Amino acid sequence: MSEIATIFIEHTAKTPQIELNHITGELIFSGKSIPENAAKVYEPVLNWVSDYVHEARPYTNLRFDLDYFNTATLLWITKIIKTLIQIDNPDYVLMIHLYIPIEDFDEINEFDDIKDLFLPVATIMQGAIPCVGIKLYGKDDDGLVIKQTVVFLEQEKAFSTPLQ
């Protein structure tokens, strides 16, 4: 099989910067995502991810550092995640990294908040083949990460491990 090409898409006023690197297993979305035609932006990404799951790295990092995104983007993100959970190796790890404002991060400090917040994600993840985790990052107004926690998803439960 041939090597899957790395994709780099420069950001615009309405679309995020997207980096998909098969060699490192890093899939990065950063900026703002309010495209007028979400399919034009995200269909090639979904096609790349569909190829990637057949030759995935043992550790895949899916990073969302999106300041703002619309409903159409959320639908494509869901499709991307649903595709990635089909990585056909239970020893592999899919880690989803979410960067959020510190105010929102501080509000998600109770177990019930975490459970409620990730219930829709856990529903999407049902039947996932690789191990799946979510790492939350709390960012200050300058975009610097000042707090982080890991949320592990297992069938119908979620638990958090604060990191120093």
The answer on pLDDT for 20 being more than 80 is yes
Q: Which stretch of 19-33, 109-123, 130-144, 145-159 has the lowest confidence by average pLDDT? A: 109-123
Query: In the block, which residue shows the tokens 């999106």?
Result: 66
Residue 151 pLDDT grade (very low, low, confident, very high; cuts 50, 70, 90): confident
pLDDT tens by residue, 44-101: 999 999 999 999 999 999 999 999 999 999 999 999 999 999 999 999 999 999 999 9
Output the pTM of the full model.
0.85
Say whether 80 sits in a helix, a strand or coil: helix
CB 15 within 8 A of CB 41: yes
The torsion angles phi and psi of 55, rounded to 5 degrees, stand at: -135, 40
Return the ∠ at Cα 163 (arms to 23 and 153), rounded to 5°: 65
Return the ∠ at Cα 29 (arms to 63 and 109), rounded to 5°: 45
